[in-house]
C-alpha cells in the first residue's frame, strides 16, 4: 500500500511548490491585474455600451469629443448655460440685453469627475442640479475606458484625461472666462486633487466627496484579502501628498458620509487636516498672519454611505451655499491681500 502514497517529504515538497506557485500567481495578478479591480468600468453590466444622455433628463447639452495628447478620444458631455434654463435656487436678474454667450461667461463652470464604477450617464441627475439649481455650466468628463470613451483606464491616463478637459475650458473662447470648480466623488476626488495641485492658478475651488488619502492606504479596508499585498499597488493617487500643493487661497468643500463602508471617514478627516494645515500661521517681514482656513469647510453626513451621501438632507444646500460664496472671492481676495504683510507694506508706502 505504501507505493500508492507519497512520502511525507515528497508531499511536503509538493505542497510547498504549489503554495509558491499560487503565491507567485497571486502576486502577479495583484500587480498586473489591479487596474481591473480599481477601475471596474464595465460594472454594472452594460456600462460600456448603455450610456444615458442629458436629453433623457430634459437637459440641453453638447456631445463633446476630446482628443488627449496620447491620441485617446474621450466622449464627454458639455452643458453650457442658457438664459431660459430657469431661475433655480440661484435667482438671477438677467439683463435683457445680455447675450447667451455673455451669460455663459458670467456663470461658474463645474468639471465633474465621477467614481470608479459606472459611467457619466449615471451622474446626469447630479449634473442637472448644478445646471438648473445653481445655474452652472457643467463639463461631465468620461475617463478613458469608461462609457463610450476609447482606451484603458490607469492613473497616468486619468491624469491626462483631466488635464485635457481643463485645457479645453481654458482655451474655449467663452468658458475660459468662467470660474472653474472641480467636483470629484470617490476616485474622482483624487483626480480633482491631482489636477488642482498641477494647475493652481486655473482652479477656483474644489468640492470633494468620500475620497481617500491614497489607494495603497485604502486597500486593506476596501480589499482585505489583498491587504498584505498593498505595497504592490502601483496606482497611487496620493492625495494626502498633493493637498499641500494647492494654495491656501483655493476654497475647498469636503463632504463626508459617516457610514461610508468603502472609504472610511478617517480618510476624509485626514485630508481635511491636510487642507486645514494650509491655513497655518505664517510670518513675513516680522508680521504673523494666517491664511486659507476660512476658505475651507468640512461637512459630515451621519446617514451617508459611499454611494448615497449626495442624497442626504443638507448636501446640496451645502454645495449651493459654497458655490454662491465664490462669487465674491475676487473682492475678498483683494481685501485679504491688504491684510498680508506685503499689502500692509504697500499701504504704508502710499
Helices then strands, counting H and E runs in the chain, come out as 12, 10
Residue 234: band (very low, low, confident or very high) from pLDDT cuts 50, 70, 90 = confident
Nearest to 142 by CA among 126, 118, 110, 172: 118
Query: 42-349 sits in which CATH class?
Result: alpha beta
Residue 220: band (very low, low, confident or very high) from pLDDT cuts 50, 70, 90 = confident
Phi and psi at residue 283, to the nearest 5°: -125, 135
What's the pLDDT score for residue 246? 96
What's the pLDDT score for residue 6? 43
Does 93 participate in catalysis according to the annotation?
A: no
What's the pLDDT score for residue 350? 29
The angle that helices 187-198 and 155-171 make with each other, rounded to 10 degrees, is 60
Give me 223's grid cell.
Answer: 480589499
Residues 6+ apart with CB under 8 A from 297: 252, 253, 254, 318, 322
- The single-letter DSSP state of residue 132 is I
pLDDT digits (tens, 9 = 90+) for 85-122: 876 666 688 898 999 999 999 999 999 999 999 999 99
Residue 334 pLDDT > 90: no
Could you say which of 186, 214, 217, 256 is catalytic? Answer: 186
Residue 332 pLDDT > 50: no
Q: How far is CA 97 from CA 83, 102, 132, in A?
A: 11, 10, 22
Host H or E run for residue 15: helix 8-32
pLDDT digits (tens, 9 = 90+) for 181-208: 999 999 999 999 999 999 999 999 999 9
Taking a C-beta distance cutoff of 8 angstroms, is the pair 115, 109 a contact? no
Q: Residue with C-alpha cell 498641477?
A: 198
What's the pLDDT score for residue 333? 46
The angle that helices 329-339 and 341-349 make with each other, rounded to 10 degrees, is 70
Phi and psi at residue 205, to the nearest 5°: -165, 165
CA 246 from centroid of its chain's CA atoms:
14
pLDDT digits (tens, 9 = 90+) for 130-182: 999 999 999 999 999 999 999 999 999 999 999 999 999 999 999 999 999 99
Does 172 participate in catalysis according to the annotation?
A: no
Mean pLDDT, rounded, of the chain? 84
Could you say which of 47, 214, 260, 267 is catalytic? Answer: 260
SS3 content of the chain, % helix, strand, coil (to 5): 50, 15, 35
Distance, in Å, from the CA atom of 6 to the CA atom of 188, rounded to the nearest integer, reads 55
Distance, in Å, from the CA atom of 113 to the CA atom of 122, rounded to the nearest integer, reads 12
Nearest to 210 by CA among 228, 227, 192: 192
- Percent of the chain's residues with pLDDT above 90: 68
Q: Strand 109-113 relative to strand 180-185: parallel, antiparallel, unpaired?
A: parallel
What's the pLDDT score for residue 223? 62
Does 306 participate in catalysis according to the annotation?
A: yes
Q: What is the CA radius of gyration of the chain?
A: 24
Domain positions in the chain are: 7-38, 42-349
pLDDT digits (tens, 9 = 90+) for 42-58: 999 999 999 999 999 99
pLDDT digits (tens, 9 = 90+) for 297-310: 999 999 999 999 99
Amino acid at each position: 500500500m505504501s507505493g500508492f502514497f507519497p512520502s511525507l517529504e515528497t508531499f511536503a515538497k509538493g505542497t510547498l511548490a504549489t503554495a509558491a506557485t499560487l503565491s507567485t500567481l497571486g502576486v502577479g495578478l495583484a500587480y498586473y491585474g489591479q487596474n481591473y479591480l480599481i477601475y471596474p468600468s464595465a460594472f454594472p453590466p452594460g456600462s460600456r455600451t448603455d450610456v444615458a444622455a442629458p436629453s433623457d433628463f430634459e437637459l440641453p447639452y453638447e456631445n463633446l469629443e476630446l482628443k488627449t495628447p496620447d491620441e485617446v478620444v474621450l466622449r464627454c458631455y458639455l452643458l453650457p448655460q442658457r438664459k431660459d434654463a430657469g431661475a433655480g435656487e440661484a435667482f438671477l436678474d438677467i439683463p435683457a440685453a445680455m447675450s447667451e454667450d455673455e451669460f455663459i461667461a458670467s456663470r461658474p463652470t463645474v468639471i465633474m469627475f465621477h467614481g470608479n464604477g459606472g459611467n457619466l450617464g449615471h451622474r446626469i441627475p447630479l449634473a442637472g442640479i448644478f445646471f438648473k439649481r445653481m445655474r452652472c455650466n457643467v463639463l461631465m468628463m468620461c475617463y478613458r475606458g469608461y462609457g463610450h470613451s476609447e482606451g484603458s483606464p490607469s492613473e497616468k491616463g486619468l491624469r491626462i484625461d483631466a488635464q485635457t478637459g481643463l485645457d479645453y475650458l481654458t482655451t474655449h473662447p467663452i468658458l475660459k472666462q468662467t470660474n472653474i470648480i472641480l467636483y470629484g466623488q470617490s476616485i474622482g476626488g483624487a483626480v480633482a486633487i491631482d489636477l488642482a495641485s498641477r494647475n493652481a492658478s486655473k482652479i477656483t475651488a474644489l468640492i470633494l466627496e468620500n475620497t481617500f488619502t491614497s489607494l495603497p492606504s485604502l486597500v486593506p479596508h476596501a480589499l482585505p484579502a489583498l491587504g498584505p499585498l498593498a505595497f504592490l499597488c502601483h496606482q497611487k493617487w496620493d492625495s494626502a501628498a498633493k493637498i499641500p500643493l494647492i494654495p491656501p487661497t483655493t476654497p475647498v468643500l469636503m463632504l463626508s458620509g459617516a457610514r461610508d463602508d468603502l472609504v472610511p471617514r478617517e480618510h476624509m478627516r485626514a485630508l481635511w487636516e491636510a487642507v486645514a494645515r494650509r491655513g497655518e500661521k505664517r510670518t513675513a517681514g516680522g508680521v504673523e498672519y494666517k491664511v486659507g482656513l476660512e476658505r475651507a469647510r468640512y461637512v459630515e453626513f451621519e446617514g451617508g454611505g459611499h454611494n448615497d451621501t449626495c442624497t442626504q438632507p443638507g448636501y446640496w444646500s451645502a454645495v449651493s451655499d459654497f458655490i454662491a460664496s465664490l462669487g465674491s472671492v475676487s473682492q475678498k481676495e483683494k481685501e485679504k491681500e491688504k491684510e498680508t504683510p506685503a499689502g500692509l507694506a504697500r499701504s504704508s508706502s502710499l
